[in-house]
Amino acid sequence: MDVTLIQDVVSEVMRRMSNHVSPQSTSADVGTGRYGVFSDVDQAVQAATEAQKQLLKLSLDDRDAIVKIIKSTAKENAHAWGKIEFDETKIGRLDHKIEKLQILELVPGVEYLKTHAQTGTNGVCLEEFAPFGVIGAITPVTHSVPTLSANAVTMIASGNSLVINPHPNGSHCAAIAVAEYNKRIAAKFGIEHLITVINPPTLESADAIFAHRGVNLLVVTGGPVVARAAMKSSKRAIVAGPGNPPVVVDETACMKNAAECIIKGASFDNNLLCIGEKQIFVVDSVYDKLVTALQTAGAVELNTQQIATLTSKAFKVDPKDNKPHVNKDYVGKDARDLVIAAGGTSVPPTCQLAFGETTFDHPFVQQEQMMPFIPIVRCRNVDEAMDKAIESEHGYRHTAIIHSRNLDTITRFGRRAATTLFVVNGASPSGLGLGGQGHLSYSIATPTGEGITTPLTFTRYRRIMITGSLRMV
């Protein structure tokens, strides 16, 4: 056995062991009205309003301490909460659900709130960043606890409290995490409802948050329907919407690096991430080299018949519009399950990603499929690859990836794609600080333009001008 194969087997065994981790403490008090868990939106907003007033009485150092409580609680409970979320949502990979909580320390806190100062002939000008108040947050099923936790860090760092409407399929784990955070915050600072969560959440409770007079700002993380609903709201909304990230591979790319990065990004949590590689556009002259590199790195190729079989299961035609739509039963499933559904018989235990050639108009290319099968579209040249990649992104301006050593090509694609995240010669998670530079957030505001959210995203700009005094020199 060569060393790479041994490493693969060891990491697969570790992954499976982590799938059998038994939950630690799940005894958090999730009864309604206690530690931030409410069934009624009015009560949650009222509690969050009072909690925010108490937060404002604390110092910035105290806010920093609260942020640290959230980060350490998430890390401490990562295995147990990852398992609870995995069991409840039944999508993605347990090892990555755990990792998404362990890396919460990459989310920025109070250090982002630097006061800007200018002095001059006319006095002193201070620019400060004030909270909005109560923030209504909508979170997705793909990262229920990670999104609410990262939102809590950035929003509380900037002095806000939260009312969260989680996805109904990820609301139990959300309530457990919220109750535990509030318990620990209350024990140290006496504030019980800084993070509130609606349990059980419904579309009606989301609407009630959208319309509530006590909610000062909306932050919505989710797919096209909720993104559109938030954009129509009369309140200011920060919208972290859907993506469909294309990958361009040109003839100058390092195929080994491209293949390994594509596998890493597209298989992370079984491709649930909005930034995850969803379709490849490769220049024809290096198509075979890329396929070989993907196989060498452990991905499994599906043939035309197998792709057709998988497509017939992974998409359902809706009689209303006669178009294929993603079948939720296949979202976030393991690559092995997809290969077997496609009619494949022999799947190595280490397989994390399946791939295969499709046409440009294929549903796997056009839809944000959130499955660890990545289609490859063969293109005559890099210009065609760029054109098709941009078209497949549907103007979300979310994420695009390129593997190339040609600076001119990289620059042209970056300019034309105009996405919030543009990753060059890396795996998509490097755009969120995982194996790359920069900070982490699970809410990447795309249509509204705030980008990878930070505490500053959730602040109101204030200028304090002290005219004619306080200048000492």
Which residues lie below 8 Å from residue 336, measured CB to CB, with a gap of 6+?
347, 349, 351
Nearer to ligand NAD (CB atom), residue 350 or residue 369: 369
What tokens does 215 get? 């909610």
Nearer to ligand NAD (CB atom), residue 222 or residue 344: 222
Site for ligand NAD in 65-124 (CB under 6 A): none
Rounded to a whole number of angstroms, the minimum distance from the CB of residue 398 to ligand NAD is 6
Whether the link from the prior residue into 455 is cis, omega within 30° of 0, is no
Residue 140 within binding range of ligand NAD, rule CB under 6 A: yes
Site for ligand NAD in 275-304 (CB under 6 A): none
Q: Which residue is nearest to ligand NAD (CB)?
A: 222
Residue 241 within binding range of ligand NAD, rule CB under 6 A: yes
Which range of residues in 108-116, 148-156, 351-359, 441-449 is near ligand NAD by CB under 6 A? 441-449
Which range of residues in 240-248, 343-351, 428-436, 456-464 is near ligand NAD by CB under 6 A? 240-248
Which residues lie below 8 Å from residue 3, measured CB to CB, with a gap of 6+?
none
Residue 440 within binding range of ligand NAD, rule CB under 6 A: no
Residue 243 within binding range of ligand NAD, rule CB under 6 A: yes
Taking CB under 6 A as the criterion, the residue among 141, 175, 365, 423 binding ligand NAD is 141
Rounded to a whole number of angstroms, the minimum distance from the CB of residue 275 to ligand NAD is 8
Site string for ligand NAD, 187-226 (x = CB under 6 A): ----------------x--x--------------xxx-xx
Residue 44 within binding range of ligand NAD, rule CB under 6 A: no
Taking CB under 6 A as the criterion, the residue among 240, 297, 335, 401 binding ligand NAD is 240
Which among 217, 265, 218, 210 is positioned nearest to 243, based on CA atoms? 265
Nearer to ligand NAD (CB atom), residue 333 or residue 378: 333
Residue 457 within binding range of ligand NAD, rule CB under 6 A: no
Residue 142 within binding range of ligand NAD, rule CB under 6 A: yes
Residue 392 within binding range of ligand NAD, rule CB under 6 A: no
- The burial class, CB within 10 Å (0-12 / 13-18 / 19+), for 14 is exposed
Residue 274 within binding range of ligand NAD, rule CB under 6 A: yes
Rounded to a whole number of angstroms, the minimum distance from the CB of residue 5 to ligand NAD is 34
Long-range contacts of 336-340 (CB under 8 A, 24+ apart): 338/310, 338/314, 338/371, 338/372, 338/373, 339/300, 339/302, 339/306
Residue 444 within binding range of ligand NAD, rule CB under 6 A: yes
How far from 269 is each of 82, 148, 429, CA to CA, in Å?
A: 12, 17, 11
Taking CB under 6 A as the criterion, the residue among 368, 376, 377, 421 binding ligand NAD is 368
Site for ligand NAD in 220-239 (CB under 6 A): 221-223, 225-226, 229
Taking CB under 6 A as the criterion, the residue among 79, 167, 212, 362 binding ligand NAD is 167
Could you tell me which residues are beta bridge partners of residue 217? Answer: 135
Residue 446 within binding range of ligand NAD, rule CB under 6 A: yes
Which range of residues in 47-55, 137-145, 174-182, 348-356 is near ligand NAD by CB under 6 A? 137-145
Which range of residues in 39-47, 175-183, 377-385, 438-446 is near ligand NAD by CB under 6 A? 438-446
Rounded to 5 degrees, φ, ψ at 440 are -110, 145
Count of residues engaged in binding ligand NAD, rule: CB under 6 A: 28
Site for ligand NAD in 330-349 (CB under 6 A): none
Contacts with ligand NAD, residue ranges (CB under 6 A) = 138-143, 165-168, 203, 206, 221-223, 225-226, 229, 240-243, 274, 368, 442-444, 446
